[in-house]
């Protein structure tokens, strides 16, 4: 059974870069699309972007200028970098697996809370 685990700092200063890593266990990162989704406190879900194991990416246009998603196949990990963060980027960040490009998200990490504050 595939499991996902997010890791990274829980506190980031404004204007700095948020960096998170998702470790995939119980299965290979090869094949599937791998997404990052976030949820601000008390609000709904927002898709940030995804990466295909081969390296192709697509991002939410509202974040595109600040987002980079990368994959490390040998380590079975993929990562998120979000630059120039503000308080509006405070959220629970989930890594997730997509059932193909048009598919739903069938596996989610437990989520990690990232707070942007000085």
Partner 1 sequence: SYVLTQPPSVSVAPGETAKISCGTNNIGSKSVHWYHQRPGQAPVLVISYDHDRPSGIPERFSGSNSGNTATLTISRVEAGDEGDYYCQVWDASTDPLYVFGTGTKVTV
Q: Which two tokens stand for residue 34?
A: 């791998």
In the complex, minimum distance from the CB of residue 110 to partner 1, in angstroms, rounded to a whole number: 6
In the complex, minimum distance from the CB of residue 29 to partner 1, in angstroms, rounded to a whole number: 19
In the complex, minimum distance from the CB of residue 21 to partner 1, in angstroms, rounded to a whole number: 17
At 37, which helix (H) or strand (E)?
strand 33-39
SS3 of 32, please? coil
Q: Which two tokens stand for residue 17?
A: 């870069």
Residue 16, interface with partner 1 (CB under 8 A)?
no
The candidate with the shortest Cα–Cα distance to 4, out of 116, 118, 114, 110, is 110
Residue 26, interface with partner 1 (CB under 8 A)?
no
Which 67-86 residues touch partner 1, going by CB under 8 A? Answer: none
Q: In this chain, which stretch among 12-20, 66-74, 76-84, 96-104 interacts with partner 1, using CB under 8 A? A: 96-104
């Amino acid at each position: 059974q595939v499991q996902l685990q997010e890791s990274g700092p829980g506190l980031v200063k404004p204007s700095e870069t948020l960096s998170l890593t998702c470790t995939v266990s119980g299965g290979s990162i090869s094949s599937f699309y791998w997404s990052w989704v976030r949820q601000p406190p008390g609000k709904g879900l927002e898709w940030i972007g995804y990466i295909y194991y081969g390296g192709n990416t697509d991002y939410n246009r509202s974040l595109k200028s600040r987002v980079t998603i990368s994959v490390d196949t040998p380590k079975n990990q993929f990562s998120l970098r979000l630059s120039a963060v503000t308080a509006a980027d405070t959220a629970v960040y989930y890594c997730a697996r997509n059932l193909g490009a048009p598919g739903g998200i069938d596996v989610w990490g437990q989520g990690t809370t990232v707070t942007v504050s000085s």
